[in-house]
Structure 1
């Protein structure tokens, strides 16, 4: 797919994906939805990309669904067509969790509605002081349970805090998000990219297999049926990683205090 609103640049095994509709605060129109879904779905098979950085152009991360473009759409309004359209959006966050690459979200400014969901579906969130997140759906006549928010948010902040924001649509600022553990760092906008690069560089010290299996196990551990199920996944991961050809290089690089050089695995 040729992208119109999503700029993707691959640099040293890191994919920098930028939602590029700054005049609309990177709101999700049908084209951007298709591009995000195509990009994250395709990552499952790629070996040349090991980390993803997701960000928005201009002064916002993503302001959610583009209601102006939607209101001008004269397409089929049946329940079946609506469900298909809804699934086109929700499949993005499923693909984000399924892809083996860790996703670092650089959240500057507004992250509302669908933008909030994209931030929550990422693995690490870095924010600026201007961050404003909310479950905007409930403020426009819909349920706040949308695009995975009802799954992610209570698991991250607990049911009471999740209910507070989902039942009211209130905005959450950077300091509150940091206190709740939703964001890992708060930095000024001009330091956002450097902070993401630091995270990505640390992740790239892991072997390709180790990094992928760690994300996979973290995903499953959230819903694991108890301690023994989680440990079974951990044990499996350690044995698989120890048999991988990159394991020896990882140990040598650690002992020699240098950057590891792993075998290249193209898709």
Structure 2
């Protein structure tokens, strides 16, 4: 049985589904390693313009698999601390892969996003939630820290420090409506409309210049890391000039607007 399903619901759209609903799509290695491989493969598929990640069943991803996390050959010969660190690296690589993907990644959060599942959702570029979804930083509830897999970096940048500190230090649940209100997700929708909403968003993105979208994603994430406005504007300017001078996209956009049609970007 495949624990990661890869489908193409519409032209230019890839849907990747975590497919172990009986365990709430927990982050066992036989789920996370195939997820990373699927992401890497689609990243090199230039026909794919947007990627949607979701979970099968009632959960998006329940975080650590406490029942049976599995075993990888890279753990052989290591002591327990070494295994733990190597295991964390495997999960961290999934977050990095999402971040580095050239295509925008939309998290279709269909249900519980707990612990590492919360982190997985935050790693996406855009998050849309079902009304049944909720988010919980699990570590603090289990005698650990709630800071894992980039959450203490990504969440404050998404919603501000005060709200992020409160959520991560209390370990409370954030339902879909509150998540939309504070900016964890862009919006929440009826469960039956979740994938339709995400596909429609992916199609809109696919209608733009491929290079323009890729550079926009890169600049947005660079802005999150920017040390200063001056430095970042300099990077933005170079990216904009690169797209302007190496493609005919701008001319096509102006021509299409004058002719009352959708632009057809070739570059």
Shared fold by TM > 0.5?
Answer: yes
Return the alpha-carbon distance in structure 1 between the equivalents of residues 260 and 31 of structure 2.
42
Return the alpha-carbon distance in structure 2 between the equivalents of residues 151 and 25 of structure 1.
25
1:1-267 equivalences under 5 Å are 4-10=2-8, 11-70=10-69, 77-247=79-249, 248-263=251-266
Secondary structure of the corresponding residue to residue 58 of structure 1: coil
Aligned Cα root-mean-square deviation (Å): 2.2
Return the alpha-carbon distance in structure 1 between the equivalents of residues 236 and 65 of structure 2.
42
Secondary structure of the corresponding residue to residue 132 of structure 2: coil
Secondary structure of the corresponding residue to residue 59 of structure 2: coil
Return the alpha-carbon distance in structure 1 between the equivalents of residues 231 and 63 of structure 2.
36
Secondary structure of the corresponding residue to residue 70 of structure 1: coil
CA contact (8 A) 1:20 1:57 kept: yes
CA contact (8 A) 1:29 1:70 kept: yes
The Cα offsets for residues 147-172 of structure 1, whole Å up to 9 and x where unpaired, read as 11011011111222111111121111
Return the alpha-carbon distance in structure 2 between the equivalents of residues 258 and 169 of structure 1.
50
Return the alpha-carbon distance in structure 1 between the equivalents of residues 99 and 90 of structure 2.
15
CA contact (8 A) 2:63 2:113 kept: yes
Return the alpha-carbon distance in structure 2 between the equivalents of residues 141 and 71 of structure 1.
22
The Cα shift of 1:235 comes to: 0.9
Deviant stretches of 4+, over 4 Å: 71-77
- Paired positions, count: 262
After superposition, the Cα gap between the structure-2 partners of 1:246 and 1:17, relative to the gap in structure 1 and judged at 3 Å, is: farther
After superposition, the Cα gap between the structure-2 partners of 1:146 and 1:262, relative to the gap in structure 1 and judged at 3 Å, is: same
Secondary structure of the corresponding residue to residue 68 of structure 1: coil
After superposition, the Cα gap between the structure-2 partners of 1:137 and 1:258, relative to the gap in structure 1 and judged at 3 Å, is: farther
The Cα offsets for residues 112-142 of structure 1, whole Å up to 9 and x where unpaired, read as 1111011101111111221110111222232
Deviates more, 1:144-153 or 1:158-167: 158-167
CA contact (8 A) 2:13 2:199 kept: no
CA contact (8 A) 2:29 2:70 kept: no
CA contact (8 A) 1:112 1:135 kept: yes
CA contact (8 A) 2:13 2:203 kept: no
The Cα shift of 1:65 comes to: 1.6
Q: Structure 2 regions of 5+ residues with no counterpart?
A: none
Return the alpha-carbon distance in structure 2 between the equivalents of residues 142 and 246 of structure 1.
53
